[in-house]
Structure 1
Amino acid sequence: MRVLLSTYGSRGDVEPLVGLAVRLRELGAEARVCAPPDEDFAQRLAGVGVPLVPVGRSARALTTGGPPPTAADLPRRAAELMASQFDVVTEAAEGCDVLVATGMMPAAAGALSVAEKLGIRSVSVTFQQLTLPSPGRPPLAYPGRPLPPDVTDNRVLWDLDARSIDALFGEALNTNRASIGLPPVVHVRDYVIGDRPWLATDPTLDPWQETPDLDVVQTGAWILPDERPLPDELVAFVEAGEPPVYVGFGSMPMRASANAAQVAVAAIRAQGRRALVGRGWADLALIDDRDDCFAVGEVNQQALFGRVTAVVHHGGAGTTTTAARAGAPQVVVPQAADQPYWAGRVAELGIGVAHDGPTPTFASLFAALDAALTTETRARARAVAGAIRTDGATAAAQLLVDAIGHGRKGQPVSA
C-alpha cells in the first residue's frame, strides 16, 4: 500500500505531512512526500526516515527573495508551479494507491489532476478552514484582489472568491490538464475542495461549523511527537534564570517590520523578562551581546514551548497549535493569510492576545505581553492545553488505510 503526500508551501504545510507519513508507516503503508526542495524540509523528513521528492523552487527563496506577489504575478507563478507538479508528481505517484493533496491551491489543483489522470484515489486537505466556503464568514482576499468593502453578504463574497480563483489559476490549470488529455475544470476552487474535504485542525482551536453545502471531515491536527533533544546551549540558557519569552515568526519574512527583533527584545526586557529569539526565515538576530537573550534556529518547539513563559509568533496554524498544546500564553502578531484568524481564535479562547496588525511597536507589544502574562491568561492557557487532541495524524492515517482497503481505484477518498 503506497501513499503520496503532495504539498507546496512553507514549513506549516510540510510539518503535518511528517506526522501523517510516520503514522501511515506504522499501519504498514509506504508514504513519500512531494514538497519544495528546501534543506530544512529535507532534513526534517530524513530525520524520521520519510523520502522527500523535491518539486518546484525553494519555498524560502520565493518567500524571502523579493516583494510579495501581486495580482499580475500570481497567474505566472501558478503556471510555473503547476507545470512542476504535473512533471514531478506524475512520476512520484506511479504505483500509488492514494494521493493526499494540500498546500497552495494551484499546487493542490495540479496534484489532484495527476491523480485523476492516473486513476488514483485522492483526498483534498486543508490546514485551516478559511478556504472552505461557509455562510458564516467571508473568504480570504488574494493579493491585488480585495473584497469589496460595501458587500456584506458572505455568499456573494464566496461567489466573488470563486471567480477570482478562476481568473488567477484557471487558464494555467486547464492548459496543463489539456497537455495530458484531461478535460477543462470549470471552477478551480470547487475542483480542489471536492465533495468531502478534510480539515486537519484541532476542534478546540478551530471548530468547524457544519454547513449545508459542504461535507467536511475534521481529523484533528496532524502532529508527530518530537523526540529531538534541545541543544545543550539552549537548555543552559533556559535553566539560567526565569523562563524566557520566545519570539519568532516562522516562515514569515517580516517585511512590514524590519526591526522586529529590536522591538520584541526591548518590550520583553521592559517586562523584566529574558528573550529567546527564533531566527526563522526573517533571520532575526540578537540586538546586543547581553546575556539575557539567546538566538536559536531550527528547534523542537514542542519541547521548547513547555519551558517558556510566553510565545510571541506570527499565527501560523502549526505554531498556534504547538503553543496551545504546551499551555504557553501567546501573543500573535499576524502577518498574512489565515494568521489574523488564528490570532482571533487565541484571543477568543482567552489563551493569549491578538496584536492589532502586522507591525509591532514597543508600546503595542509591551501592552500585549502585559495582557498575556496575567494570572488569568496563564491559567486559561493551561486549561485549554488539556483539551487539544494529539491523535489527528493517527485518525487520518487510519481513515486512509481503511478507505484504500474498501474503496475502488480512481474514486475520491471518503470517511
Structure 2
Amino acid sequence: MNITILTVGTRGDVQPFVALGKELVDRGYHVTICTGKNFKRFVEDNGLIFSPVTIDYLELTQSEEGKKMMGGNPIEIVKNMKTMIIPMMERMLDDLWASSRDADLIIYHPKAFGGYDIAEKLGVPVFVAHPIPAIAPTRLFSNPALPVSFNFGWVNEISFKANRLFMASFFKLINNWRRETLGLNKKRNLFTNDLTLHNKPIPVLYGCSPEIIPFDPNWNGSVSMSGFWFLEDKIDWEPPTDLLHFLEIGPPPIAISFSSMPLKNPYKIKAMLEEALEIIGQRGLFITGWSGMDTKKTKAHIHSVQSIPHSWLFKRTSGVVHHGGAGTTAAVLKAGKPMIICPFSGDQPFWAKRMHDLHLSTAPLREKDMTVEAFVTRIQELVNNQELTSNAIALSERIAQEEGIKDTVDFIEECIR
C-alpha cells in the first residue's frame, strides 16, 4: 500500500510525521512524505521517500514581511495575502497533488489543506493528523490554535469551528483548484464539514500524550491519542568537541531556544538572558536556530550553537527556556526537565498555560514583557522550585511508558480493515 503523508510548516510540523512514517515503513508500507523542500535531507536520512513542496516556511518567517505577519499584525497579513500568501498556496496545492496521484491512503496535516480534496478526488482512505489536539471538537478544553482559552464546555466545543474561519480566505483559491485541477465541481465553504468525507467521519490522529491533554471518551473511537510521536535518536550523531568541553567543565546549564520564532530584538534579548544568568550564577546554552540570535561566545558561562538534537541535549541540562512549540515542549517533557515558556503565536500560549497549570513551568513570559528582572525571577524559580523538578521527572517516567506511534499505526490499520 502506498501511503502519502502531507505536511507543511516548521520542524515541529514535520518531525512527528517522519517518526510516524518510519513506523509505517517498518510494517511494510510504502511511505512518501510531501513537505517543504528544505526538509529533503532530513526526510531521506530517516529512510523515507521525499516529495517536495516548493514553499519554504522557514524562509518566509525570516523575511521582513514574514516577521510582521508572525507578530500577528492583521494589516500585514491582509497586505501580503495577494502578493505572497495566495501564490505560495497555489504552488503548494499543485505540489501536494503531484505527490499524491498514486496514493492508496492519505494522511494530512491541516496546514496542507489540499489533503481533504485530494482524498475526495482519489476516493481513498484519509486521516487528518496533528501534533496538537486542535481538530476534533471537545468540551474538555478549548481549541489550542486560538490565542485565548475558555473554561465553559459548550464554548470549548464551539471554539473548534474556528478552524473553518481560518480557511475562509482560501476558499476561492481552493474551489478554483478543485474545479480546474481535480475536476471537482462541488464547492467548499464555511458550512462544509471537513471532518467527514463521503458521509463518513474522517479519523483523527493526535501525536500527543493523554498525560498532558485529557482524552475525551465522547470521541467514540474516531480519535487516536495515546502518546507523543517521538523520533528515535540518530546513533551516528556526534556532538562538537567545544560543546562537550563546555558541558564537562561545570554544572548542567540552562538550555535556551526560540527555534524558528524570529525575535524582534534578538541581540537585546540574548544580552538580557546572559546578564540574568550571570546575576544568578547559572550557565546558559543558547540554541540560536532562526531566532536571530548569534552564536558568538561572549562570556565563560555562555555557550551557543546553531542547532542540536533536543533529545541529546535537554537531558543534560537543569531546565529549558523555550518558545512553547509542541515539539519542543514534548522534548522537554520527555527529558523530565522544568521549563520557562516564552510564547509567541499559534498554539504556544496554549502549551505555556498548560505547562504552568500542571506545575511543570514557571509563569509564561512574552517577548514584550522580557526584562533582566523578569528573567532573573523565573530562572531562580526554575532552579530552586523542587516541585517543578519532581513533577517533571514523574511525568517523564509516565510518558516513557507510552507507545504513541505504535498505537497510532495500530489505529490506522484497524480503520482501514
Same fold (TM over 0.5): yes
In structure 2, relative to structure 1, the CA distance for the partners of 1:25 and 1:232 (3 Å cut) is: farther
Greater alpha carbon shift after TM alignment, 83-92 vs 208-217: 208-217
2:393 corresponding residue in structure 1: 382
C-alpha distance after superposition, 1:253-276 (max 9, x if no partner):
123766221122222222211110
Superposed, 1:103-114 pairs within 5 Å as: 103-104=110-111, 107=112, 109-114=113-118
C-alpha distance after superposition, 1:343-392 (max 9, x if no partner):
11211221221324233211111111111212222122111111115521
Unaligned runs of 5+ in 1: 407-415
1:52 corresponding residue in structure 2: 50
Displacement of 1:337 after TM fit? Answer: 0.9
Aligned partners of 1:169 and 1:188 also within 8 Å: no
Between the aligned residues of both structures, percent identity stands at 24
Aligned partners of 1:276 and 1:295 also within 8 Å: yes
Superposed, 1:56-205 pairs within 5 Å as: 56-66=54-64, 67-68=68-69, 70=74, 71-73=77-79, 76=82, 79-104=86-111, 107=112, 109-139=113-143, 154=155, 158=159, 161=162, 164-179=165-180, 180-182=182-184, 183-187=186-190, 190-191=193-194, 195-205=202-212
Letter in 2 for 1:4: T
| TM-score, scaled to structure 1 | 0.86
Displacement of 1:195 after TM fit? Answer: 3.9
Q: State whether structure 2 residue 232 is matched by structure 1 residue 231.
A: no
Letter in 2 for 1:72: V
Letter in 2 for 1:154: V
C-alpha distance after superposition, 1:202-241 (max 9, x if no partner):
1112223445799432142111221333333212211111
Unaligned runs of 5+ in 2: none
Aligned partners of 1:279 and 1:285 also within 8 Å: yes
1:273 corresponding residue in structure 2: 282
In 2: Cα distance, 1:57 partner to 1:215 partner: 32
C-alpha distance after superposition, 1:310-350 (max 9, x if no partner):
10000011111111110111111111111111111211221
Displacement of 1:140 after TM fit? Answer: 6.1
1:411 corresponding residue in structure 2: none
Letter in 1 for 2:173: A
Superposed, 1:296-375 pairs within 5 Å as: 296-359=305-368, 360-373=370-383, 374-375=385-386
Displacement of 1:306 after TM fit? Answer: 0.5
Aligned partners of 1:320 and 1:342 also within 8 Å: yes
In structure 2, relative to structure 1, the CA distance for the partners of 1:211 and 1:56 (3 Å cut) is: farther
In 2: Cα distance, 1:355 partner to 1:100 partner: 33
In structure 2, relative to structure 1, the CA distance for the partners of 1:256 and 1:188 (3 Å cut) is: farther
SS in structure 2 opposite 1:91? helix
Letter in 2 for 1:396: T
SS in structure 2 opposite 1:49? coil
| TM-score, scaled to structure 2 | 0.85
Greater alpha carbon shift after TM alignment, 303-312 vs 174-183: 174-183
Aligned partners of 2:295 and 2:305 also within 8 Å: no
1:33 corresponding residue in structure 2: 33
In structure 2, relative to structure 1, the CA distance for the partners of 1:57 and 1:34 (3 Å cut) is: same
1:391 corresponding residue in structure 2: 403
C-alpha distance after superposition, 1:122-155 (max 9, x if no partner):
100121124543345544677xxx98x9x99726
In 2: Cα distance, 1:205 partner to 1:289 partner: 38
In structure 2, relative to structure 1, the CA distance for the partners of 1:4 and 1:156 (3 Å cut) is: closer
Aligned partners of 2:143 and 2:160 also within 8 Å: no
In 2: Cα distance, 1:275 partner to 1:126 partner: 32
Greater alpha carbon shift after TM alignment, 282-291 vs 152-161: 152-161
In structure 2, relative to structure 1, the CA distance for the partners of 1:173 and 1:192 (3 Å cut) is: farther
C-alpha distance after superposition, 1:255-299 (max 9, x if no partner):
376622112222222221111000111132256532221111221
* Count, aligned residues: 396
In structure 2, relative to structure 1, the CA distance for the partners of 1:247 and 1:159 (3 Å cut) is: closer
SS in structure 1 opposite 2:316? coil
Letter in 1 for 2:78: A
SS in structure 2 opposite 1:175? helix
Aligned partners of 2:43 and 2:49 also within 8 Å: yes
Letter in 1 for 2:293: L
Question: Which structure has the higher relative contact order (CA within 8 Å, separation 6+)?
Answer: 1
In structure 2, relative to structure 1, the CA distance for the partners of 1:188 and 1:181 (3 Å cut) is: farther
SS in structure 2 opposite 1:306? helix
Aligned partners of 1:79 and 1:173 also within 8 Å: no
In 1: Cα distance, 2:259 partner to 2:191 partner: 29
2:19 corresponding residue in structure 1: 19
